[in-house]
Amino acid sequence: MKKPFLALLGAIVMVKLMLIGGVDSMVQIIGKNFAEFTGQSWTLFASFLGAIGAFFSGSNTVSNLTFGTVQYATAQQVGLSVTLILALQSVGGAMGNMVCINNIVAVCSVTGIEKQEGNIIKKTAVPMFVYGVIAAISALFIVPMFYNL
């Protein structure tokens, strides 16, 4: 119980540091740059930012803590649905767990697979990318048909 608490505490401290500065905080600057670069197309990329967070951290929760505020800032600046973009962030965190190094090493050790981590990442990266494309298409076309977010 102590180790997960310490890891989560570290992530929370990092996020709080990123938020320092109000309008000039790292989160706002990153969100502004994403907004300027992608504009209304951010919906296509939002889940992949969540995936990057989970890939590196090994956790959807930490990915959401780290990049949720960036997603929020980007959605606000572009004028996209914050709810939809934050949902894509969480979907992306699940995507990132497909290729997360921590999870792949754990699976290899439990199943007795040796020196195949790279091959497993390569094989799971393709379905992860397809998953991201399906999420983006759903967010762009299917969700708006049923919900006014």
pLDDT string in tens for the chain (149-residue length): 566 676 667 667 766 666 566 656 676 777 778 788 888 889 999 999 999 999 988 889 988 988 898 899 899 989 999 999 999 999 999 999 999 988 898 888 899 999 998 999 999 999 999 999 999 999 988 877 777 76
What is the spatial distance between Cα 24 and Cα 28, in angstroms, rounded to a whole number?
Answer: 6
Residue 131 confidence (pLDDT) = 96
The encoded tokens of residue 147 equal 């919900």
The ranges assigned to domains in the chain are 2-146
The encoded tokens of residue 25 equal 């905080």
Alpha helices in the chain (DSSP H): 2-19, 26-38, 42-57, 60-78, 82-98, 101-111, 117-137, 143-146
Residue 84 confidence (pLDDT) = 94
Residue 50 confidence (pLDDT) = 94
Residue 134 confidence (pLDDT) = 96
- Concatenated DSSP letters for 23-53? GGSHHHHHHHHHHHHHGGGHHHHHHHHHHHH
Is residue 29 within 8 A of residue 72, CB to CB? The reply is: no
Residue 85 confidence (pLDDT) = 94
